[in-house]
Every structure is written in structure tokens, then in C-alpha cells.
Amino acid sequence: MQLHVSPSLRHVTVFPGKGVREFIKVRIGSRWISYRMLFYSLLFFTFLLRFIFVFSTVDTIDGDPSKCSTIGCLGKRIGPRILGRMESNVPEVIYQILDEAISEEEVEPKSDIPQTLQDFMADIKQTTPDAKAFALKLRQMVLLLEQRTRKAKIQEYLYRHVASSSIPKHLHCLALKLANEHSNNAAARLQLPSADLVPTLVDNSYFHFVLASDNVLAVSVVAKSLIKNALHPRKFVLHIITDRKTYAPMQAWFSLHPLAPAVIEVKALHQFDWLSKGKVPVLEAMEKDQRVRSKFRGGSSAIVAKNYTEKPQVIAAKLQALSPKYNSLMNHIRIHLPELFPSLNKVVFLDDDIVIQTDLSALWDIDMNGKVNGAVETCRGEDSFVMSKRFKSYLNFSHPLIANNFDPNECAWAYGMNIFDLEAWRKTNITLTYYHWLEQNLKSDLSLWQLGTLPPGLIAFHGQVHVIDPFWHMLGLGYQDNTTLSDAETAGVIHFNGRAKPWLDIAFPQLRPLWAKYIGFSDKFIKGCHIRVY
């Protein structure tokens, strides 16, 4: 059989052969090519490529870039592609050098290490080292850059810690001016609320909100955003709890800036009866916590001292543990809500770093199904960074006390905007459980969890949390800048949790306007303390 192809490639003709042993003949143009010739040609080229590959292998083993034969170089370039060989050309010695453990000598700074990629390339071109010397030089430079990056990251965390822990000048100024106004102006010492509105403080037909803070400016934003977005503000009662030193400035602010028709109560902790009756567990726990922490943590200078084993994120967690808010009574007081408000059945607890953007009276329509705490879960959501928190994110599951009692993959929830059914709470031992685990953590040298009120809260309210829609609480505006303004505007409540509080210079500028729009910058106290948003 014969196959005939016309020169124009438009016609193909098959002719029967003389026998089955005769090779097929293909005609291209006016010539005839034997299939036998085609077969031997392919065999010859295959042998030639194998020969080229041997040359390329010899050149690779030799390792000298200056010795590269023409055939060898050709083999290196086209051999692996044609023959399908995909092995790495990186010598094994480079992997061995880069994979070695880091010694103490290597972390010491040296003057002969290339400082930049340009210096590294210039050094390599000048010395033309072998593979081992190349790997050593590369390793030294990478370690140097890694040390610089680590140091810069730690310094960033230290500066953020100082910025977030210190009282900004304008906030201190505002408190002083309001305290002075309280002492000199009778209008700044009005009873809050007025006598005729006192019955509303225990009336369960009203919507009761609780806010504990010593930050007058932050509280003013929360209060104004709450009332401004309320559909029926006359049914809103806001209970503001503060400490003794901030009571006068807080009362002065809300006396001079009323939010009628809403009801505002300003009360200091020392004015609650329960605080003066015997020992208060929260105060005892705070005193013990402070003593243990002062010995265990050592201060920011000790934390950022030379340490080549801990990651910057671990150091950041230790610095954050030194924040004054973690030893503030304002931060722990929520665990005593049933005692603080014995006549109320349900309250919504608000942090001072949130902004309310919708009417919150709808929270009272949520069926809690007998649970105590209505909260947003933090393990599900589009933001994988913020909404990826589980128990293992907060609790130390390498400790047997934690590992034997809890599931590391259980979904965590958020403080900041929580519905508390006080009737259901009084039927449980949540408060006692909270202090039991605080005591266990103190006995374990603060090793059971990251410091703060949320980890013991996760334990105390375990099994008593009713999950509410994420719309009611958007988190992360104070520690990651990936949240867009348009996304934040769609949430009912936004939370600037994290170090970058909106009243600090380290706040994310694209998100700060959501908070700042509730500040009256024409107010004489605001202007007098130069409070402004850049």
C-alpha cells in the first residue's frame, strides 16, 4: 500500500502495495521518501540527543560556569525540554547549607555580609565562588535581612503598644477641662438622670444599654451614635459606669451635652452598694493578677530585649498583655451585671470603641432560647483574618487543664456588643466559674490563655451563648486595614477592637471618619483641646 499526498496538500491517494512486508511510501511534492528512511532518521536523532545530554551532565557536575562546551550548553538549554527531564539544576550542597540550624555566631552582625541584593550580585560576579561558597554567602545575607525585618517588626509593635497604652494629650486635656467645669459650673453638676426620670432606670419596658469606660470622648461617640440612630430614642436608657476620677468629667459632659429624649445615667463604681459590701471578687482577682504579672512579664523593655527564638507575633501578644485595660476594673465589670442591675431582665453591653449605625431596639426581639449571652461568632465570615477565631486562638491547649475541658476547634465569639439575659444569668454559676478559672490561671503563672477578659469569658459562658447575625457586630477595624469604608457602612455596629483606636494617631485614616462624624468639632471643649481628625 502506498500513500500519495499532492504538493498542494489538497489530495491524498492510497495505492495497494505488493505485500504486507513492504514499507509504506509517502510522496511529498515530486519526491518519494521511504518509511524505512524516516524510521532510521528518527533513531539517529534520538541517539544524537542522548549524546548531547551526556555532555550537559558532565558540565553540570563540573560546576565551573566558564567551562561550557557548545554542545554541552546546547544540551543544557534544549535537552531537558526535549527529553522531558524536569530535575532541578540546583546543586544539593546549596540545599544542605541553607537547611542547617542557625548558630549563635551567625546571628552576630558582621561587616563583610552584603547589605543589599546589588552588593550580593557584585560580590558574586567578582569572586565567582563555587556552589558551597555561594550558598554560604546567600545564607548570611538572608539571615541579616531576616534579623532586620524581625527587629523592625518588634519596634513597630513596641511603638504601637506605647501609643495605645498612653493617654493622648487631647484626651487628658478634655478630662481636665471638664473636671474644672464641673467644679465651677452648676449646670455641669446636674443630676443624671433628672428626678422625674429616675423610675425609668429600673423599668423593663425600656431598652437598657450599659457602657463601662473612663474615656469621655469615646463614650460620647458611642452615646451619640446610639441615640441618633434610634427609631424611638425616648425608650432608650444608657447606663454609663465609670471610675471615681472620671466621674466628674463624665457627668459634666453629659450635663452640658444632653441627649434628650433618651435617658442617660452616669454612675461611678464607688456609688454601687455591692462594691462596699465585703470582698469583691473582681477587685481581688485584679490585685492578684497585677502582682503575678509584674513578676512574670517583666515590662516592655524585658520583652523586646534580644531574643532569637520568639516570633514577633508572640512578643506583640506579651506587649499587649501589659496594656492597662487588661487590669482595668472597667474591663472586668461586665461579669457583675446581674449584681449591678438587680431589677433589670435584659441589657445590651457596649464597649467604648464601637460605633452604632442602626437602631438597636430590634435586639430585644431576638429569642435567646434560654441562653445568657447573645453574641456574634468569630470563626465564620468572608474576612478570613478577623473571622477565623476559635478556642485554640485564645486558650493554651498545651496545658492539660485546658486540653481536658474544651474543644480547640469550637467557635469563639466576640465581646463588644452583647445581649445579656440577666434573668437567665441569675440561674447559672457563670460568675463563679469566671473567677474559678481566673484563680487557676494565676496559679499557672498566667499560662492558660492570652491575657484579657475574653478568654475567661469564653470559658464562663461556655454553653450559654446564643449566636446572632454578624450584621450586628463587625470586628477588626482597629487591627487590620483591609476593611473598606463601604463594607463597614453596611454593618449595624462596627468595632475598633485592636490597638488602632479611632481617637489615636495610629488609627487607620480611611476608617476614622465613621467614628469622627459623631464628634462636634465646633464644641468649645473639643476645640480647646485641639481634638481634630487629619
Whole-number pLDDT of residue 10: 47
| pLDDT tens, residue by residue, 12-27 | 454 555 544 444 444 4
pTM: 0.72
DSSP state of 7: T
Q: With contact defined as beta carbons under 8 Å apart, do 331 and 451 qualify?
A: no
Per-residue HEC secondary structure of 379-448 comes to CCCCCCCCCCCEHHHHECCCCHHHHCCCCCCCECECCCEEEEEHHHHCCCCHHHHHHHHHHHHHHCCCCC
Query: In sequence order, what are the beta bridge partners of 346?
Result: 421
88: pLDDT strictly greater than 60: no
299 confidence band (pLDDT: 50, 70, 90)? low
Phi and psi for 152 in degrees, rounded to 5?
Answer: -65, -40
For residue 454, give every residue at least 6 positions away whose Cβ sits within 8 Å of its Cβ, in sequence order, or none.
Answer: 394, 412, 414, 415
Q: With contact defined as beta carbons under 8 Å apart, do 185 and 342 qualify?
A: no
Whole-number pLDDT of residue 280: 64
Least confident of 45-49, 68-72, 196-200, 294-298: 68-72
The whole-angstrom distance between residue 191's C-alpha and the CA centroid of its chain comes to 42
Overall average pLDDT of the 393-406 stretch: 94
106 confidence band (pLDDT: 50, 70, 90)? low
What is the DSSP pairing of strand 493-495 with strand 2-5?
unpaired
End-to-end CA distance of the chain: 89
Q: Which of the two residues, 39 and 417, has the higher pLDDT score? A: 417
Overall average pLDDT of the 301-310 stretch: 59
Whole-number pLDDT of residue 27: 45
CA distance 37 to 23: 10
304: pLDDT strictly greater than 90: no
* CATH 3.90.550.10 holds for 169-529: yes
Phi and psi for 439 in degrees, rounded to 5?
Answer: -65, -40
Query: In sequence order, what are the beta bridge partners of 31?
Result: 28
CA distance 141 to 159: 27
Work out the percent of the chain whose per-residue pLDDT is above 70.
67
Q: How many CA atoms lie within 13 A of 256 on its CB side?
A: 22
| Preceding peptide of 261 cis, ω within 30° | yes
CA distance 335 to 242: 15
9: pLDDT strictly greater than 60: no
271 confidence band (pLDDT: 50, 70, 90)? confident
Domain limits, the chain? 169-529
Which amino acid type is present at position 169? Answer: K
| pLDDT tens, residue by residue, 484-527 | 888 899 999 999 988 889 999 888 999 999 999 999 999 999 99
DSSP state of 261: T
Which amino acid type is present at position 474? Answer: M
28: pLDDT strictly greater than 50: no
Question: Among candidates 31, 32, 26, 36, which has minimal Cα distance to 1?
Answer: 26
Whole-number pLDDT of residue 281: 64
Least confident of 103-112, 115-124, 212-221, 463-472: 103-112
Buried b (16+ CB within 10 A) or exposed e, 171-196: bebbbebbbebbeeeeebeeebbeee
Question: Among candidates 399, 47, 531, 525, which has minimal Cα distance to 391?
Answer: 399
Starting from the edge strand earliest in sequence, which strands make up the sheet with 2-5, in order? 12-15, 2-5, 25-28, 31-34
Most confident among 46-55, 159-168, 243-252 (mean pLDDT): 243-252
C-alpha grid cell, residue 334:
461586665
CA distance 264 to 277: 26
CA distance 173 to 171: 5
Whole-number pLDDT of residue 25: 45
| pLDDT tens, residue by residue, 272-281 | 876 655 556 6
DSSP state of 102: P
Phi and psi for 104 in degrees, rounded to 5?
Answer: -65, -30
Overall average pLDDT of the 317-325 stretch: 63
291 confidence band (pLDDT: 50, 70, 90)? low
Q: With contact defined as beta carbons under 8 Å apart, do 3 and 25 qualify?
A: yes
251: pLDDT strictly greater than 50: yes
Whole-number pLDDT of residue 145: 80
The number of beta carbons lying within 10 Å of the beta carbon of residue 5 is 14
The whole-angstrom distance between residue 159's C-alpha and the CA centroid of its chain comes to 17
Whole-number pLDDT of residue 135: 76
Overall average pLDDT of the 341-356 stretch: 96
Overall average pLDDT of the 39-61 stretch: 60
Most confident among 127-136, 137-146, 512-521 (mean pLDDT): 512-521
2 confidence band (pLDDT: 50, 70, 90)? low
Q: With contact defined as beta carbons under 8 Å apart, do 411 and 501 qualify?
A: no
Q: Which of the two residues, 210 and 270, has the higher pLDDT score? A: 210
Question: Among candidates 103, 177, 114, 181, which has minimal Cα distance to 144?
Answer: 114
Q: With contact defined as beta carbons under 8 Å apart, do 79 and 55 qualify?
A: no
Phi and psi for 356 in degrees, rounded to 5?
Answer: -95, 135
| pLDDT tens, residue by residue, 163-213 | 666 678 899 999 999 999 999 999 999 999 999 999 999 999 999 999 999
Average pLDDT over the chain, rounded to whole?
80
Question: Among candidates 487, 523, 530, 529, which has minimal Cα distance to 508?
Answer: 487
| Preceding peptide of 193 cis, ω within 30° | yes
What DSSP letter does each residue of 333-372 carry, written as one string?
GGGGHHHH-TT-SEEEEE-TTEEE-S--GGGGGS--TT-S
C-alpha grid cell, residue 259:
441627649
Q: What counts of helices (H) and strands (E) characterise the chain?
A: 23, 13
What is the DSSP pairing of strand 31-34 with strand 25-28?
antiparallel
Phi and psi for 294 in degrees, rounded to 5?
Answer: -65, -30
Which residue matches cell numbers 481628625?
533
